[in-house]
């Protein structure tokens, strides 16, 4: 007699895996000329002020927005810091 694999555990693992994969945030550079939401607008405004302002905003709202500073590196004034240094400091 052939034995078949139970489908319920397999299906639940597949659904859980798909749900986790689609819920993970995508990390990409943010276009501050057309921010998508309130958190991006506020982060772009902070980045335009200074690196310290963006860092304070990021730390203050880390549990709410999960802002990644390297995503806003282009919005930081170039005289202030290069994007490479911003990425190095946040890691």
- Whether the CB-CB separation of 57 and 42 falls below 8 Å is answered with yes
User: Mind spelling out the 3-state secondary structure of 13-59?
Assistant: HHHHHHHHHHHCCCCCCCCCCCCCCHHHHHHHHHHHHCHHHHHHHHH
Tokens 């400091």 belong to 89
Mean pLDDT of 69-76: 82
- The 3-state DSSP class for residue 67 equals coil
The domains of the chain are located at 35-91
Grade residue 87 by pLDDT with cuts at 50, 70 and 90: low
Q: Which tens digit of pLDDT belongs to each residue from 25-70?
A: 556 678 888 888 888 899 989 988 888 898 999 999 888 888 888 8
Model confidence, pTM: 0.55
Any idea which residue has 């980045």 for tokens? 47
């Amino acid at each position: 007699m052939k034995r078949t694999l139970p489908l319920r555990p397999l299906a639940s693992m597949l659904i859980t895996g798909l749900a986790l994969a689609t819920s993970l945030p995508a990390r990409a550079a943010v276009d501050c000329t057309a921010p998508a939401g309130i958190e991006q607008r506020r982060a772009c405004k902070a980045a335009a002020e200074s690196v310290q302002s963006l860092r304070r905003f990021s730390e203050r709202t880390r549990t709410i927005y999960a802002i990644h500073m390297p995503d806003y590196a282009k919005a930081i004034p170039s005289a202030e810091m290069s994007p490479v240094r911003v990425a190095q400091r946040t890691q």
